[in-house]
Amino acid sequence: MRLDHPGFLILLLLLPFLLWYLGQKDSGRIRFSDLSIGRQLVPSFWVKSLPFLTFARFLVVVLMIFALARPQSSHSREQITSEGIDILLILDISGSMRAEDFKPDNRLHAAKAVIHDFLDNRKNDRIGLVVFAGESFTQCPLTLDYRVLGDLLLNVEIGMLEDGTAIGDALANATNRLRHSTTKSKIAILLTDGENNAGTIDPLIAAQAAKALNIKVYTIGMGKEEGAFIPYHDPIFGLQYSRTRTYVDEETLKEIAEITEGRYFRATDNRKLSEIYEEINQLETTKIEVTEYIRYKELAAYPLLLATLLLTLEIVLSNTRLRKIP
DSSP output for 138-187: EEEEEES-HHHHHHHHHT--TTSS-SS--HHHHHHHHHHHHTT--SS-EE
Which candidate, 208, 217, 203, 211, places its Cα nearest to that of 263?
217
What integer pLDDT is reported at residue 88 of this predicted model? Answer: 95
As averages over each run of 10 residues, the pLDDT of the chain (326 residues) reads 79 76 59 53 62 75 83 67 81 90 87 93 89 94 92 93 94 94 90 91 96 95 80 69 74 95 92 92 68 72 84 79 62
| Strand pairing category for 126-132 and 215-222 | unpaired
Q: Long-range pairs for 142-148 at CB < 8 Å and ≥24 separation?
A: 142/86, 142/88, 142/177, 142/178, 142/181, 146/119, 146/120, 146/122
What integer pLDDT is reported at residue 225 of this predicted model? Answer: 77
What integer pLDDT is reported at residue 158 of this predicted model? Answer: 92
Q: Classify 60 as helix, strand or coil.
A: helix
What integer pLDDT is reported at residue 321 of this predicted model? Answer: 67
What integer pLDDT is reported at residue 26 of this predicted model? Answer: 56
E runs forming strands in the chain: 2-3, 71-83, 86-92, 126-132, 136-143, 186-192, 215-222, 228-234, 238-246, 264-267, 287-298
Cα 126 to chain centroid, rounded: 17
What integer pLDDT is reported at residue 45 of this predicted model? Answer: 63
Beta-ladder partners of 289: 81
CA angle 265, 271, 272 (to 5 degrees): 15
Beta-ladder partners of 266: 221
CA angle 290, 295, 300 (to 5 degrees): 155
What integer pLDDT is reported at residue 8 of this predicted model? Answer: 79
For residues 213 and 175, the answer to whether their CB atoms sit within 8 Å is: yes
What domains are defined for the chain? 2-76+297-318 (no CATH), 85-285 (3.40.50.410)
For residues 278 and 284, the answer to whether their CB atoms sit within 8 Å is: no
Rounded CA separation 111/131 (Å): 12
What integer pLDDT is reported at residue 15 of this predicted model? Answer: 76
What integer pLDDT is reported at residue 103 of this predicted model? Answer: 80
